[in-house]
Structure 1
Amino acid sequence: MKILIAEDDQRFGNLVYQMLLRQNMQVDWVHSGDDALDFIKNELYDVIILDWMMPKKTGLEVCKELREEHYQGGILMLTAKDTVDDLVVGLEAGADDYIVKPFEFKELLARIQSVARRSKVALKEECVKAADLELNRGTKLAKRGTRMIQLTGREFQLLDILMQNYGRVLPKELILDHIWGLESEISPNNLEAFVRLLRKKIDYPGEEELIQNIRGVGYKMEARKIVRSS
């Protein structure tokens, strides 16, 4: 597996770099967002690890620029920001996953492997439908009406499991296990952030709301008309 780390903190970056080398990974380490972009133009990486706060260009800016250029590789964001609003900002920029500092190395390794594995899995091309929403599992593109919806890897996984269980309530624990695995120490804020962003992408004003929050349990996909008082 080939990894690029973009981290300006010398001590922390070196720690991660050395640990990944011990896992027999090929690792490049740069100290700024601009350097990360230069390396990505010339090398193929399984996963890019971006620190949010870096000089010249932040990890957030690098992530957004890559996705705007239709970069399809895995992107994992490192950050000290852990609120749902912060997570949504990063996911909107195109990050596949988040890990909040401080963290255990085994958790970082699990996230790296998950992002890399997902980016290589080729699902057979088939279309899943729920209400007026369609999801192509081959291209990982969603469509609602005439509107095409771009999805990150995690968003695709979340939408896929909800659509395939249309009308069923899925506990949060089941969703977390499906997307991150039982061994992950992921914060509940991550799932909430993904759901919020996915809603923003698939539910436009005037359309039926498709993802329902079942308080204290989890989520389900089911069309619900928005009733507005006159």
Structure 2
Amino acid sequence: MTTNTIYPSLNNKTVLITGGGSGIGAALTTAFVRQGATVAFIDIDTLASEQLIESLRTENSDHRVEFHRCDIRDIASLQTTIADINAALGPITALVNNAANDDRHDWRDVTPEYWDERMAINLRPQFFTIQAVAPAMIDAGGGSIINFGSVSWQKAQGYMPGYTTAKAAVHGLSRTMARDLGEANIRVNTVVPGAVITQRQLDNWIGPDDEAQIQSQQCLKKRLLPEHLAPMALFLAADESAGCTAQEFIVDGGVV
């Protein structure tokens, strides 16, 4: 699936995507690159990220896309990486906070250390990435921040309380930062994916019976793919969404 919509305002815009090397993140990276944006993405998976870079450069050698390896749990390293990207590519005026980890876990087995680690991946970096990006975005006259949530907490999904709690908090983060940054013409919104079928999901949790159950809950009887999320992110990063902030945009095939 590719989008036929071209947003001129994304051409040459500097975009930062966290977790941009595989799964939903790779679809986001690909979509922004094809819009002519200057894209930097952060990921911990070097192999997948380098393969994506090679594929995009083979598709069009004029594409400007960079991979920066970083563990987003290390906030000092994360913010240093963002400073380097700002210095090299110009001010980041679109941020996509996509990186996450939805490993399943039984509430009985959760320790304080594991709980903190879930927050350290799924919530804390979203705030500190915003904190690092916002000053240059303010100086540039505005921008768009897109935080990725999850439909899991809205549908009361079990077996991952650390993840669902973090993702429930993401929309609160979006709304409070939309208020704090609105006077600087910075929009902050949440994209809420449904049960997106990535290779990781298929490898770890979703079999044919699971997928049939997922589609039985959706209004649209189709497999929800990473490529279905990218058009929403493009719209929210583009000038065409200039009046949208502090909102949730759900892409779940019609579940909640």
TM-score normalised by L of structure 2: 0.37
**Which structure has more RCO (C-alpha within 8 Å, separation ≥ 6)?**
2
Larger radius of gyration: 1
Higher-strand-fraction structure? 1
Higher-helix-fraction structure? 2
TM-score normalised by L of structure 1: 0.40
